[in-house]
Amino acid sequence: MKHKIHLIPAVTFFLILFYTVVIRARPLTPGVVSNSFAIAATFIIGLCFLLGPLSRLKPHKFVPCLKYRKALGLCGYLFAAIHAAGAIVLEFNTIASGENLYSIISAIFAFIIFTVMTITSTGKAIQKMGYQKWKRLQRTGYIAFFLVLIHFTIIEKGVFVSRQLGQVLFAFVLLVLLIRILIILMGKKEAYKPEEFHEVHGIEKPE
């Protein structure tokens, strides 16, 4: 199952591309492919964030799934990076326009946070930073996720969220954030001890 987990991002991307091109009858252009990567990235990264709160609500069911978070998160980050590169190359004039300023700023800050999270997603980084400090850093990902919500909500004056897929994505991101807030308000603690972190998350432990 661990190796097959990469199928989830791939299938998500192709389903979104299929929906856009076949069902919505949009032409298969590099821009459409780039945007499909962005939407898939948001769903995959959101799934990673969702597994954390769910593991606190239903430990026996979802704690075993935490070992897939790193692989999913790296795929989500890769998809986001592909979209970022594609947007710069293909749509620079659009993203550089004044009306998209706040949307692009939010995307840049989100991408910076996700980059830091990705760089520090190793056993050596956890050992060097200390578990608690590393954990606080990883939780800034929810801020980045909120910035992603702002990005696709206001870009091009809300064109994306006026579409069905945009509304589904908006609802999904909002759900992930609200569940996280609910877990905080409920005071639910992690279902494993700090010393069990590496084993639970499938992250190598330095010698």
Q: With 70 as the cut, is the pLDDT of residue 11 above it?
A: yes
Q: What pLDDT score was predicted for residue 202?
A: 76
How far apart, in whole angstroms, are the C-alpha atoms of residue 155 and residue 104? Answer: 8
Q: What pLDDT score was predicted for residue 139?
A: 92
Q: Is 3 exposed, middle or buried (0-12, 13-18, 19+ CB in 10 A)?
A: exposed
Residue with the two structure tokens 């590393």: 134
170-197 confidence digits (pLDDT tens): 999 999 999 999 999 998 888 777 777 7
Answer whether residue 124 is part of any domain: yes
Q: What pLDDT score was predicted for residue 3?
A: 63
Structure tokens at 4: 């097959």
Nearest to 142 by CA among 79, 50, 80: 50
How far apart, in whole angstroms, are the C-alpha atoms of residue 66 and residue 86? Answer: 31
The residue that leads in pLDDT, 107 or 201, is 107
pLDDT band at 50 (very low <50, low <70, confident <90, very high): very high
145, 110 contact by CB (below 8 A): yes
Q: Which residues contact 62 (CB under 8 A, 6 or more apart)?
A: 51, 54, 55
Phi/psi region, residue 70 (left: phi>0; alpha: psi -120 to 50; beta: rest), is alpha
Q: With 90 as the cut, is the pLDDT of residue 91 above it?
A: no
93-148 confidence digits (pLDDT tens): 776 677 888 999 999 999 999 999 999 988 888 888 888 898 899 999 999 999 99
Q: What pLDDT score was predicted for residue 72?
A: 95
Answer whether residue 169 is part of any domain: yes
Answer whether residue 118 is part of any domain: yes
For the chain, how many structural domains are there in total?
Answer: 1
Phi, psi of 122 (to 5 degrees): -125, 160
Answer whether residue 86 is part of any domain: yes
Q: With 60 as the cut, is the pLDDT of residue 2 above it?
A: no
The model's pTM:
0.92
Answer whether residue 50 is part of any domain: yes
Structure tokens at 21: 């091109």
pLDDT band at 157 (very low <50, low <70, confident <90, very high): confident
Q: What pLDDT score was predicted for residue 29?
A: 95
Contacts 24+ apart (CB under 8 A), 156-159: 156/94, 156/99, 156/100, 156/103, 157/99
Residues spanned by the domain of 194: 4-201
Answer whether residue 207 is part of any domain: no
Q: What pLDDT score was predicted for residue 123?
A: 83
Q: What pLDDT score was predicted for residue 154?
A: 94
39-48 confidence digits (pLDDT tens): 999 999 999 9
Q: List, in sequence order, the alpha helices (H) in 58-205.
A: 59-62, 69-90, 92-95, 101-119, 123-129, 131-139, 141-154, 164-186, 197-201
Nearest to 117 by CA among 128, 126, 105, 127: 126
How far apart, in whole angstroms, are the C-alpha atoms of residue 33 and residue 29? Answer: 6
Answer whether residue 96 is part of any domain: yes
Answer whether residue 206 is part of any domain: no
Q: What pLDDT score was predicted for residue 194?
A: 73
